[in-house]
Amino acid sequence: MIKERYHVRIVPHRGDAVHRFTVTGKLVATALGVLGVVVLGSLLFALVQVARANAQANALAHQRQSEQRRLQSIDQQTDALRKQLQRVQRQNNEIRQLIGVGPPKGHGTAKRMSLSRPARRDMSALETKVQLLAAVSAQTQLEADQLRQLAMHVLNVRHLRDIELAREIAYIPSIDPVAGAPVTGCYCYRTYPDVEFHKGVDIEAGYGEIVRATAAGTVAFAGWDGGYGIKIDLDHGNGYHTWYAHLSHLDIVQGQRVYKGQAIGLVGATGFSTGPHLHYQVMRNGSAVDPTPYLDGVPKSALASLP
Protein backbone atom coordinates (compact mmCIF):
# COMPACT_ATOMS: atom_id res chain seq x y z
CA MET A 1 0.00 0.00 0.00
CA ILE A 2 2.87 2.30 0.77
CA LYS A 3 4.38 1.77 -2.70
CA GLU A 4 1.14 2.35 -4.51
CA ARG A 5 0.46 5.61 -6.21
CA TYR A 6 -2.81 7.52 -6.18
CA HIS A 7 -3.79 9.95 -8.88
CA VAL A 8 -5.96 12.92 -8.04
CA ARG A 9 -7.68 14.88 -10.76
CA ILE A 10 -9.19 18.32 -10.24
CA VAL A 11 -11.68 19.22 -12.95
CA PRO A 12 -12.70 22.91 -13.00
CA HIS A 13 -16.41 23.71 -13.30
CA ARG A 14 -16.08 25.73 -16.49
CA GLY A 15 -14.12 23.15 -18.37
CA ASP A 16 -10.66 24.62 -18.05
CA ALA A 17 -7.60 22.47 -17.99
CA VAL A 18 -7.69 19.48 -15.68
CA HIS A 19 -5.13 19.41 -12.85
CA ARG A 20 -3.55 16.07 -12.00
CA PHE A 21 -1.70 15.14 -8.83
CA THR A 22 0.02 11.95 -7.94
CA VAL A 23 0.04 11.00 -4.23
CA THR A 24 2.05 8.10 -2.97
CA GLY A 25 0.77 5.67 -0.35
CA LYS A 26 3.54 6.71 1.95
CA LEU A 27 2.35 10.31 1.89
CA VAL A 28 -1.21 9.24 2.57
CA ALA A 29 -0.06 7.12 5.52
CA THR A 30 2.01 9.99 6.87
CA ALA A 31 -0.95 12.38 6.60
CA LEU A 32 -3.22 9.92 8.35
CA GLY A 33 -0.61 9.47 11.12
CA VAL A 34 -0.27 13.22 11.62
CA LEU A 35 -4.07 13.53 11.71
CA GLY A 36 -4.26 10.77 14.32
CA VAL A 37 -1.62 12.44 16.44
CA VAL A 38 -3.48 15.77 16.24
CA VAL A 39 -6.77 14.14 17.15
CA LEU A 40 -5.19 12.21 20.03
CA GLY A 41 -3.40 15.32 21.27
CA SER A 42 -6.67 17.25 21.15
CA LEU A 43 -8.40 14.53 23.15
CA LEU A 44 -5.63 14.47 25.75
CA PHE A 45 -5.70 18.25 26.04
CA ALA A 46 -9.46 18.16 26.47
CA LEU A 47 -9.15 15.51 29.17
CA VAL A 48 -6.54 17.56 31.02
CA GLN A 49 -8.76 20.64 30.86
CA VAL A 50 -11.75 18.66 32.13
CA ALA A 51 -9.67 17.28 35.03
CA ARG A 52 -8.41 20.75 35.88
CA ALA A 53 -11.95 22.11 35.78
CA ASN A 54 -13.12 19.31 38.09
CA ALA A 55 -10.28 20.02 40.50
CA GLN A 56 -11.15 23.73 40.55
CA ALA A 57 -14.82 22.88 41.08
CA ASN A 58 -13.92 20.61 43.98
CA ALA A 59 -11.67 23.29 45.47
CA LEU A 60 -14.46 25.85 45.19
CA ALA A 61 -16.94 23.45 46.80
CA HIS A 62 -14.48 22.79 49.65
CA GLN A 63 -13.95 26.53 50.04
CA ARG A 64 -17.70 27.10 50.15
CA GLN A 65 -18.05 24.41 52.83
CA SER A 66 -15.22 25.98 54.81
CA GLU A 67 -16.84 29.40 54.52
CA GLN A 68 -20.16 27.93 55.57
CA ARG A 69 -18.59 26.37 58.65
CA ARG A 70 -16.93 29.66 59.47
CA LEU A 71 -20.24 31.46 59.05
CA GLN A 72 -21.89 28.98 61.40
CA SER A 73 -19.08 29.38 63.93
CA ILE A 74 -19.37 33.16 63.87
CA ASP A 75 -23.14 32.90 64.13
CA GLN A 76 -22.74 30.70 67.21
CA GLN A 77 -20.34 33.24 68.71
CA THR A 78 -22.91 35.94 68.03
CA ASP A 79 -25.61 33.98 69.84
CA ALA A 80 -23.27 33.27 72.76
CA LEU A 81 -22.33 36.93 73.10
CA ARG A 82 -25.97 37.95 72.81
CA LYS A 83 -26.95 35.57 75.61
CA GLN A 84 -24.06 36.74 77.75
CA LEU A 85 -25.08 40.34 77.23
CA GLN A 86 -28.71 39.61 78.08
CA ARG A 87 -27.68 37.73 81.23
CA VAL A 88 -25.46 40.56 82.45
CA GLN A 89 -28.15 43.13 81.66
CA ARG A 90 -30.72 41.13 83.63
CA GLN A 91 -28.32 40.97 86.57
CA ASN A 92 -27.74 44.71 86.32
CA ASN A 93 -31.48 45.35 86.31
CA GLU A 94 -31.95 43.13 89.36
CA ILE A 95 -29.19 44.99 91.22
CA ARG A 96 -30.76 48.33 90.24
CA GLN A 97 -34.12 47.22 91.57
CA LEU A 98 -32.55 46.05 94.82
CA ILE A 99 -30.69 49.28 95.49
CA GLY A 100 -33.18 51.63 93.82
CA VAL A 101 -30.95 52.94 91.02
CA GLY A 102 -32.41 53.89 87.64
CA PRO A 103 -31.11 52.64 84.27
CA PRO A 104 -28.06 54.41 82.80
CA LYS A 105 -28.25 56.63 79.73
CA GLY A 106 -28.20 54.72 76.45
CA HIS A 107 -29.21 51.47 78.14
CA GLY A 108 -32.17 50.98 75.83
CA THR A 109 -30.01 51.38 72.71
CA ALA A 110 -27.52 48.77 73.88
CA LYS A 111 -30.31 46.39 74.68
CA ARG A 112 -31.95 46.79 71.27
CA MET A 113 -28.67 46.19 69.49
CA SER A 114 -27.99 43.08 71.54
CA LEU A 115 -31.36 41.61 70.66
CA SER A 116 -31.31 42.40 66.92
CA ARG A 117 -30.06 39.87 64.33
CA PRO A 118 -28.17 40.71 61.14
CA ALA A 119 -30.34 41.11 58.04
CA ARG A 120 -27.60 39.57 55.87
CA ARG A 121 -25.82 36.38 56.83
CA ASP A 122 -22.66 36.86 54.80
CA MET A 123 -19.20 36.92 56.34
CA SER A 124 -18.80 40.69 56.66
CA ALA A 125 -22.23 41.17 58.24
CA LEU A 126 -21.61 38.48 60.86
CA GLU A 127 -18.11 39.70 61.67
CA THR A 128 -19.44 43.24 62.11
CA LYS A 129 -22.19 41.90 64.36
CA VAL A 130 -19.69 40.01 66.50
CA GLN A 131 -17.54 43.09 66.88
CA LEU A 132 -20.53 45.24 67.86
CA LEU A 133 -21.82 42.70 70.33
CA ALA A 134 -18.37 42.26 71.83
CA ALA A 135 -18.08 46.02 72.33
CA VAL A 136 -21.53 46.29 73.89
CA SER A 137 -20.85 43.24 76.06
CA ALA A 138 -17.60 44.75 77.31
CA GLN A 139 -19.36 48.03 78.07
CA THR A 140 -22.17 46.23 79.87
CA GLN A 141 -19.65 44.21 81.89
CA LEU A 142 -17.89 47.43 82.88
CA GLU A 143 -21.25 48.88 83.87
CA ALA A 144 -21.96 45.73 85.89
CA ASP A 145 -18.67 46.09 87.76
CA GLN A 146 -19.40 49.74 88.55
CA LEU A 147 -22.94 48.87 89.56
CA ARG A 148 -21.73 46.13 91.88
CA GLN A 149 -19.35 48.56 93.54
CA LEU A 150 -22.23 51.00 93.98
CA ALA A 151 -24.42 48.17 95.29
CA MET A 152 -21.78 47.17 97.82
CA HIS A 153 -21.54 50.77 98.97
CA VAL A 154 -25.33 51.07 99.25
CA LEU A 155 -25.63 47.72 101.00
CA ASN A 156 -22.84 48.63 103.41
CA VAL A 157 -24.55 51.92 104.19
CA ARG A 158 -27.85 50.11 104.72
CA HIS A 159 -26.08 47.51 106.82
CA LEU A 160 -24.61 50.26 108.97
CA ARG A 161 -28.07 51.82 109.24
CA ASP A 162 -29.49 48.45 110.26
CA ILE A 163 -26.77 48.09 112.87
CA GLU A 164 -27.50 51.59 114.12
CA LEU A 165 -31.23 50.86 114.19
CA ALA A 166 -30.59 47.62 116.07
CA ARG A 167 -28.39 49.51 118.53
CA GLU A 168 -31.09 52.12 119.07
CA ILE A 169 -33.71 49.41 119.56
CA ALA A 170 -31.42 47.68 122.05
CA TYR A 171 -31.62 50.81 124.22
CA ILE A 172 -35.46 50.91 124.20
CA PRO A 173 -37.25 48.82 126.88
CA SER A 174 -38.83 45.83 125.14
CA ILE A 175 -38.79 42.70 127.34
CA ASP A 176 -40.41 41.46 130.53
CA PRO A 177 -38.00 42.01 133.45
CA VAL A 178 -39.27 38.82 135.12
CA ALA A 179 -39.99 36.37 132.31
CA GLY A 180 -43.47 34.87 132.35
CA ALA A 181 -44.62 36.55 135.53
CA PRO A 182 -48.14 38.05 135.55
CA VAL A 183 -48.86 41.74 136.10
CA THR A 184 -50.89 42.24 139.27
CA GLY A 185 -50.71 46.00 139.73
CA CYS A 186 -51.67 48.27 136.84
CA TYR A 187 -50.44 51.67 135.70
CA CYS A 188 -53.50 53.45 137.06
CA TYR A 189 -55.22 55.06 140.04
CA ARG A 190 -55.69 52.66 142.93
CA THR A 191 -57.03 52.72 146.49
CA TYR A 192 -54.86 49.99 148.02
CA PRO A 193 -52.50 50.11 149.75
CA ASP A 194 -52.77 53.90 149.24
CA VAL A 195 -55.04 56.14 147.22
CA GLU A 196 -52.70 57.32 144.52
CA PHE A 197 -51.77 57.03 140.86
CA HIS A 198 -49.55 54.02 140.49
CA LYS A 199 -46.79 55.10 138.05
CA GLY A 200 -45.57 51.60 137.25
CA VAL A 201 -46.76 48.02 137.16
CA ASP A 202 -46.39 45.36 139.83
CA ILE A 203 -45.16 42.04 138.51
CA GLU A 204 -45.90 39.00 140.64
CA ALA A 205 -42.78 36.91 141.26
CA GLY A 206 -41.32 34.68 143.93
CA TYR A 207 -38.72 35.89 146.37
CA GLY A 208 -35.23 35.66 144.84
CA GLU A 209 -36.34 35.36 141.20
CA ILE A 210 -33.97 36.97 138.68
CA VAL A 211 -34.69 40.48 137.47
CA ARG A 212 -33.28 41.38 134.06
CA ALA A 213 -32.56 44.71 132.36
CA THR A 214 -35.25 45.42 129.78
CA ALA A 215 -32.83 47.50 127.64
CA ALA A 216 -29.14 48.25 127.41
CA GLY A 217 -27.92 51.20 129.40
CA THR A 218 -25.92 52.48 132.35
CA VAL A 219 -26.75 52.06 136.04
CA ALA A 220 -27.70 55.57 137.15
CA PHE A 221 -28.60 54.47 140.66
CA ALA A 222 -28.41 51.25 142.65
CA GLY A 223 -29.31 51.26 146.34
CA TRP A 224 -31.98 52.07 148.91
CA ASP A 225 -34.64 54.61 147.91
CA GLY A 226 -37.23 55.00 150.67
CA GLY A 227 -40.55 53.33 149.91
CA TYR A 228 -39.07 51.73 146.80
CA GLY A 229 -36.67 49.77 148.97
CA ILE A 230 -33.67 48.48 147.08
CA LYS A 231 -34.01 50.07 143.66
CA ILE A 232 -32.14 50.16 140.38
CA ASP A 233 -32.42 53.08 137.92
CA LEU A 234 -31.08 52.33 134.44
CA ASP A 235 -30.36 55.24 132.12
CA HIS A 236 -30.72 54.10 128.48
CA GLY A 237 -29.25 57.28 127.01
CA ASN A 238 -32.21 58.09 124.76
CA GLY A 239 -34.62 59.73 127.17
CA TYR A 240 -35.69 56.40 128.66
CA HIS A 241 -35.08 55.31 132.25
CA THR A 242 -36.35 52.07 133.79
CA TRP A 243 -36.83 51.52 137.52
CA TYR A 244 -36.75 48.17 139.33
CA ALA A 245 -37.91 48.38 142.96
CA HIS A 246 -38.46 46.26 146.13
CA LEU A 247 -35.41 44.12 145.26
CA SER A 248 -33.70 41.78 147.70
CA HIS A 249 -30.28 41.82 146.08
CA LEU A 250 -28.20 43.82 143.61
CA ASP A 251 -26.03 42.20 140.95
CA ILE A 252 -24.68 45.46 139.52
CA VAL A 253 -23.12 48.68 140.78
CA GLN A 254 -23.71 52.30 139.97
CA GLY A 255 -21.99 53.43 136.76
CA GLN A 256 -21.88 49.92 135.31
CA ARG A 257 -22.98 49.36 131.74
CA VAL A 258 -25.48 46.56 131.20
CA TYR A 259 -26.95 44.88 128.13
CA LYS A 260 -30.57 43.96 127.42
CA GLY A 261 -31.53 40.78 129.26
CA GLN A 262 -28.64 40.93 131.74
CA ALA A 263 -29.41 39.85 135.31
CA ILE A 264 -29.26 42.94 137.53
CA GLY A 265 -30.88 41.81 140.80
CA LEU A 266 -33.31 39.55 142.63
CA VAL A 267 -36.99 39.97 143.50
CA GLY A 268 -37.67 40.93 147.08
CA ALA A 269 -40.10 42.81 149.35
CA THR A 270 -38.00 45.74 150.58
CA GLY A 271 -39.43 49.20 151.15
CA PHE A 272 -43.16 49.78 151.20
CA SER A 273 -44.29 46.39 149.95
CA THR A 274 -47.05 43.98 150.93
CA GLY A 275 -45.12 40.95 149.69
CA PRO A 276 -42.50 39.77 147.19
CA HIS A 277 -42.98 41.37 143.78
CA LEU A 278 -41.23 43.69 141.35
CA HIS A 279 -42.28 47.28 140.85
CA TYR A 280 -41.33 48.11 137.26
CA GLN A 281 -41.51 51.69 136.03
CA VAL A 282 -40.67 53.27 132.68
CA MET A 283 -39.69 56.94 132.53
CA ARG A 284 -39.50 58.87 129.26
CA ASN A 285 -38.00 62.36 129.24
CA GLY A 286 -38.57 62.62 132.97
CA SER A 287 -42.22 61.51 133.02
CA ALA A 288 -43.68 58.11 133.85
CA VAL A 289 -45.34 56.23 130.97
CA ASP A 290 -47.35 53.03 130.92
CA PRO A 291 -44.84 50.14 131.00
CA THR A 292 -47.38 47.60 129.69
CA PRO A 293 -46.69 48.19 125.92
CA TYR A 294 -42.96 47.76 126.61
CA LEU A 295 -43.24 44.29 128.15
CA ASP A 296 -43.52 42.48 124.82
CA GLY A 297 -41.44 44.30 122.21
CA VAL A 298 -40.82 47.89 121.19
CA PRO A 299 -44.14 49.79 120.83
CA LYS A 300 -44.97 51.10 117.35
CA SER A 301 -45.02 54.65 118.71
CA ALA A 302 -41.41 54.24 119.88
CA LEU A 303 -40.34 52.77 116.53
CA ALA A 304 -42.02 55.63 114.69
CA SER A 305 -39.90 58.12 116.62
CA LEU A 306 -36.65 56.55 115.40
CA PRO A 307 -34.81 58.42 112.62
**3 state SS of 19:** strand
Question: Of 18-22, 127-131, 264-268, 298-302, which has the strongest mean pLDDT?
Answer: 264-268
* CA nearest to 266, candidates 210, 195, 202, 189: 210
263: pLDDT confidence band, cut at 50, 70 and 90?
Answer: very high
Q: Which pLDDT does position 207 carry in this prediction?
A: 95
**Residue 101 pLDDT > 50, yes or no?**
yes
pLDDT, position 295: 92
Write the CA distances from 195 to 178, 190, 204, 258, integer angstroms: 26, 6, 21, 35
Does 111 score more than 60 pLDDT?
Answer: no
**Residue, of 260 and 301, whose pLDDT is higher:** 260
44, pLDDT greater than 80: yes
Which band of pLDDT confidence, cut at 50, 70 and 90, is reported for residue 179? confident
pTM above 0.85?
Answer: no
What pLDDT was estimated at residue 258? 96
pLDDT at 161 over 90: no
Q: Taking the CA atoms of 221, 252, 267 and 201 in sequence, report the sign of the dihedral they define.
A: positive
Which has more confidence, 188 or 116?
A: 188
